[in-house]
Structure 1
Amino acid sequence: MKKTLLISMVTAALVCVFALPSLYAVDAPGDMVLKAPAGAKMTKSPVAFSHKGHTALDCAKCHHKWDGKGEIKNCSVEGCHADTSKEGKKKPTSFYSAFHAKADTSCVGCHKAMKKAKKATGPTKCGDCHPKKK
């Protein structure tokens, strides 16, 4: 009886470890360039970004309005980070804040938090993400 229970428990654990993650797996796009939405003025160059380089993160960390099932929408959609005005730059609903806020849900915030924790991280300075325009 104990042997059967042990085998059942090990089998269940293996199913959880190997099968369940594939149910929630999302095939992230590869490399892309992040640009401001149409009509917004961008003062720095667009940012080269690799989703594949961020696959260790939970998608919902950045895509905080995603329910885990439907299509993941762009940050600049209405109701998320659609404010592209200069006046709204520091508001949580601004397109700028989605990438630059101090919160660890933004690129800069996450990278700086990782750097502070002495973990390997991506760029934390403006010029590292926004190379000078040629």
Structure 2
Amino acid sequence: MKKTFMISLVVAALVCAFALPNLSAANEAPADIELKAPFKMRKAPVQFPHAAHEKLVPECTTCHHEWDGKSEVKSCAAEGCHTEQRAKPGETLSFKKAYHDLCIKCHRQERKGPKGCNDCHPREKK
């Protein structure tokens, strides 16, 4: 009986030591993210300071509107999200429109952050 109890305690301790830290790290976002469309873009990808926005936007679901709060956050470029280069009325917003509507609207409302095309999409060196 004592042996079974001790083995159970050791197994529980190992699970806590190795599995739990990995579960909590699963929802940590990178500090900076490169936003790239799932198709050929005419402008440079956006270097997005995610960590700075986490401090400013109180709810993750403001931007990640399909996220359930538990599972891994999917990219907007993931299949079934904002993958279209152009969208028809009534369809899910195109990649460009989804980002531009959300980002520019917030930057103008807060009177902070970049507002011009080249502020977010720096000209690429040729």
Tell me, yes or no, whether TM beats 0.5: yes
TM-superposed deviation, 1:130: 0.7
The residue type paired with residue 53 of structure 1 is A
Give RMSD over aligned pairs: 2.1
Indicate yes or no: 2:118 matched with 1:122.
no
The residue type paired with residue 111 of structure 1 is H
TM-score normalised by the chain length of structure 1: 0.64
The residue type paired with residue 112 of structure 1 is R
TM-superposed deviation, 1:89: 8.0
Q: 2:109 aligns with which of 93, 107, 113?
A: 113
TM-superposed deviation, 1:83: 1.0
The residue type paired with residue 52 of structure 2 is G
CA contact (8 A) 2:76 2:95 kept: yes
The equivalent of 1:83 in structure 2 is: 84
The equivalent of 1:13 in structure 2 is: none
Give the whole-Å Cα distance in 1 for the aligned partners of 2:42 and 2:61.
28
- The alignment covers a number of residue pairs equal to 97
Runs of 4+ residues over 6 Å off in structure 1: none
TM-superposed deviation, 1:92: 4.4
3-state secondary structure, aligned to 2:106: helix
The equivalent of 1:4 in structure 2 is: none
Gaps of 5+ in 1: 1-22, 116-120
Percentage identity across aligned positions? Answer: 47
CA contact (8 A) 1:89 1:95 kept: no
Higher RCO structure (Cα 8 Å, ≥6 apart): 2
Greater C-alpha Rg: 2
TM-superposed deviation, 1:107: 1.2
Gaps of 5+ in 2: 1-23
